Amino acid sequence: MSGIILAQPLTRESFAPFGDVIDTDGDNHFPINAGKCERHHALARPEVGGDNAHVLISIARGTPYSFPLTLAMVERHPLGSQAFIPMSPRPFVVVVCPDGPDGPGTPQAFLTAPGQGVNYRRNVWHGVLTPVGEEQDFVIVDRGGDGSNLEEFYFSHPYEVRLPEGFQP
């Protein structure tokens, strides 16, 4: 094992180098529809590049992972961003890595608050969608178009990702 990674609470500040947190705690919100609705505006900006690039909206039905999690691989999407927005108010685990000279650097793991989503900025190393405890549906907003939009990196020694002490999935 390359080491133990303890999942930390997800915050805008801690996640800022990797992308955006999608929740209703941001400052940029205002009433619409004659006050019947509050718009939490521009939480993230989807990025798409390459030939015939366009934004896609999909739904992923994710199967939960067991913890401690063996993190053997991270991936990135060189042609576009990728957002995961949970359709039920349950936390999930987000893993990201800074880029390094020979591939991804040391992973960082976050446990979202119930209902929080994330947007991985274009070309940011991340673990695959990782639900916790039970099956969960997510809206995915990412890039469609020509070319390969997936790069995977396998660690020579997997990491072990642990949930916070006392967290009940």
Return the residue of 53, 55, 56, 140 that touches ligand UGC, per CB under 6 A. Answer: 140
Return the residue of 4, 32, 73, 128 that touches ligand UGC, per CB under 6 A. Answer: 128
Give the binding-site size for ligand UGC (rule: CB under 6 A). 6
Tell me: cis bond preceding 89? Omega within 30 of 0 counts.
no
Q: How far apart are CA 88 and CA 93, in angstroms?
A: 14
Q: Does 141 engage in binding with ligand UGC (CB under 6 A)?
A: no
As a whole number of Å, the CA-based R_g of the chain is 16
Q: Does 55 engage in binding with ligand UGC (CB under 6 A)?
A: no
Q: Does 93 engage in binding with ligand UGC (CB under 6 A)?
A: no
Binding mask 62-91 for ligand UGC (x = CB under 6 A): -------------x------x---------
Binding mask 26-65 for Ni ion (x = CB under 5 A): ----------------------------------------
Where are the strands (E) in the chain, listed by range?
3-6, 8-9, 19-22, 29-32, 37-40, 54-62, 69-76, 82-86, 92-97, 99-100, 103-104, 108-111, 117-120, 125-126, 130-131, 136-144, 151-162
Report the chain's terminal Cα–Cα distance, integer Å: 24
Find out whether 149 and 79 touch, Cβ atoms under 8 Å.
yes
Q: How far apart are CA 119 and CA 117, in angstroms?
A: 7
Smallest gap from residue 82 Cβ to Ni ion (A): 5
Binding mask 64-93 for Ni ion (x = CB under 5 A): ------------------x-----------
Q: How far apart are CA 41 and CA 99, in angstroms?
A: 29
Q: What residue 129 binds from ligand UGC, Ni ion, none (CB within 5 to 8 A, per partner kind)?
A: ligand UGC
Smallest gap from residue 112 Cβ to ligand UGC (A): 14
**Residues near Ni ion, by CB under 5 A:** 82
